[in-house]
Amino acid sequence: MEEKFKYTPQDFKSDQEVRWCPGCGDHFILNAVQKALPEVSHVLNYDMERYVFVSGIGCSSRFPYYVNTFGFHGIHGRASAIATGIKVANPKLSVWQITGDGDALAIGGNHFIHAVRRNIDINILLFNNEIYGLTKGQYSPTSKLGAITKTSPFGTVEHPFRPGELVIGAQGKFFARSLDVEVKLTSEIMVEAAKHDGTSVVEILQNCVIYNDRTHAAITDKENRDDRVITLRHGEKMIFGKNRDKGLILSGLSLKVVTIGQGGFTMDDILTHDAYEPNPGVHMMLANMAYPDYPVAIGVIRNVKDSTYDDNVRDQVLQVMKSAKIKNMDELLNSGETWEV
Count other C-beta atoms under 10 Å from residue 106's C-beta.
Answer: 17
295 pLDDT tier (thresholds 50, 70, 90) = very high
- The predicted structure's pLDDT at residue 341: 81
| Nearest C-alpha neighbor of 193 from the set 114, 81, 97, 282 | 97
Rounded mean pLDDT of 308-322? 91
Rounded mean pLDDT of 106-119? 97
Count other C-beta atoms under 10 Å from residue 256's C-beta.
Answer: 13
- The predicted structure's pLDDT at residue 7: 96
Rounded mean pLDDT of 146-172? 97
Pairing of strands 246-251, 239-240: antiparallel
- The predicted structure's pLDDT at residue 2: 58
Long-range contacts of 249-256 (CB under 8 A, 24+ apart): 250/282, 254/285, 255/282, 255/285, 255/286, 255/289, 255/294
Long-range contacts of 1-4 (CB under 8 A, 24+ apart): 1/45, 3/42, 3/45, 4/45, 4/47
- Eight-state DSSP code of residue 341: -
Query: How much is the mean pLDDT over the chain?
Result: 96
Q: In whole angstroms, what is the distance from residue 280 CA to residue 178 CA?
A: 20
Q: In whole angstroms, what is the distance from residue 289 CA to residue 257 CA?
A: 11
Report residue 106 CA to chain centroid gap. 16
pTM strictly above 0.85: yes
- The predicted structure's pLDDT at residue 327: 85
What pLDDT, in 10s, does the model give residues 1-45? 456 779 999 999 999 999 999 999 999 999 999 999 999 999 999
pLDDT of 182 > 70? The answer is yes
Q: In whole angstroms, what is the distance from residue 140 CA to residue 143 CA?
A: 5
DSSP 235-271: TSB-EESTTS-EEEEEETTEEEEEETTSTT--GGGSP
CB 63 within 8 A of CB 30: yes
Rounded mean pLDDT of 222-241? 97
Structural domains in the chain, sorted by start = 9-236+273-310 (3.40.50.970), 237-272 (no CATH)
Altogether, the residues listed in the chain come to a count of: 341
Report the amino acid identity of residue 270.
I
337 pLDDT tier (thresholds 50, 70, 90) = confident
Phi-psi sector, 101: left (phi>0), alpha (psi -120 to 50), beta: alpha
What pLDDT, in 10s, does the model give residues 188-216? 999 999 999 999 999 999 999 999 999 99
- The predicted structure's pLDDT at residue 238: 98
Count other C-beta atoms under 10 Å from residue 278's C-beta.
Answer: 11
Rounded mean pLDDT of 286-306? 98
Count other C-beta atoms under 10 Å from residue 313's C-beta.
Answer: 15
What pLDDT, in 10s, does the model give residues 49-101? 999 999 999 999 999 999 999 999 999 999 999 999 999 999 999 999 999 99
Report residue 85 CA to chain centroid gap. 18
pLDDT of 336 > 90? The answer is no
- The predicted structure's pLDDT at residue 229: 98
- Using CB atoms within 10 A of its CB, is residue 48 exposed (0-12), middle (13-18) or buried (19+)? middle
- The predicted structure's pLDDT at residue 168: 98
- The predicted structure's pLDDT at residue 335: 87
